[in-house]
Amino acid sequence: MNALQAPRVLMRANAVAMESARNAFPYGACTWYADQRYHDLHGTYVPWTDNANAWQWPQRANEYGWRVSSTPQVGSIIVLQSGVQGASWLGHVGVVEQVKGNSSVIASSMNWGANPWAVTRWQFHTGPGVTFISQ
């Protein structure tokens, strides 16, 4: 790397840091809630803000070096792909609050079911179309 390239690398690193220093998702969306709750638990906002509908979060997480797994952990982000367990065509995200012994989790989320502006807790099952994200 030469002297001219170093400032560009630093500028990009600063831009990524600034980008992830706040919740950039629209209030009321499941993405806003999942990002905010994850930040409340871990002190970190997700760094992806574009091409970031709920169903896209696993791919975006991979791109940013976050872990994507089929194994839930308390505090991880749950992602439901489009149509899975009642998710809309945009998918759904929330945060795992409890891991149960029957291949299910209790997750908190916003914009789920008949309570679009409320935070709710719901039981989801692990399996096809369900992934878990953590830093």
Domain range for 18 is: 5-134
What's 112's domain CATH number?
3.90.1720.10
Q: Which pLDDT score, from 0 to 100, does residue 128 have?
A: 97
Domain count for the chain, please give it.
Answer: 1
Q: Give the global pTM.
A: 0.84
Q: Which pLDDT score, from 0 to 100, does residue 15 have?
A: 42
Q: Which pLDDT score, from 0 to 100, does residue 121 have?
A: 96
Q: Which residues are registered as beta bridge partners of 117?
A: none
Q: Which pLDDT score, from 0 to 100, does residue 20 have?
A: 58
Q: Which pLDDT score, from 0 to 100, does residue 45 have?
A: 97
Over residues 33-45, the pLDDT tens digits come to 999 999 999 999 9
The pLDDT-based confidence of 102 (bands split at 50, 70, 90) is confident
